[in-house]
Amino acid sequence: MFTNRGNDKYIYRDKEEGEVVEAEIYYTLGGQNYFSGSTNRRGVYFSFHPVTLKIEDGIKIKSFALFGNGVKFFALPLKAKSAKQVARVAAHFDPHVAGLVELYKTAPDQASKRVLELIATL
């Protein structure tokens, strides 16, 4: 299940330590992406990305690669931020998220196809 991390961001992790795949649902204002040179659309996104989580001296450490890891999908266009709409997208994906993450680990292309199918039914 997704965990609401505040600020209208929902995160699912397949485990809490080690090599982890995170699935996120979040709102973004959109605009220029200075890394890729493209423009991001305003609205709700679904993403997968691998991270490493470890706990040292009681402190959680999260590390990730800036480029080339993970994938994001535009799920829902919005004219303005709406916690209700972000929650609706999270609820729509929630029954499927664990299976999607497992599929992403072994067959990322198939996981991407399934995400797009779920987006089409929003």
pLDDT tens-place string over residues 60-88: 898 887 666 789 999 999 999 999 999 99
The amino acid sitting at 97 is: V
**Two tokens, residue 114:** 């399934």
Domain count, the chain: 1
Task: State residue 73's pLDDT score.
Answer: 97
Residue ranges making up the domain that contains 61: 3-120
- Ranges of residues in the chain whose predicted pLDDT is under 70: 66-68
- Check if the beta carbon of residue 21 is closer than 8 Å to that of residue 14: yes
pLDDT at res. 94: 97
pLDDT the model gives residue 67? 67
DSSP 65: -
According to DSSP, the residues that pair with 25 across neighbouring strands are 10, 46
Query: What is the structure's pLDDT at 45?
Result: 97
Q: For residue 80, how many other CB atoms are within 10 A of its CB? A: 8
Q: How far apart are CA 109 and CA 57, in angstroms?
A: 38
- The gap from C-alpha 33 to its chain's centroid, in whole angstroms, comes to 17
Residue 59 CB contacts under 8 Å (≥ 6 apart), including other chains = none
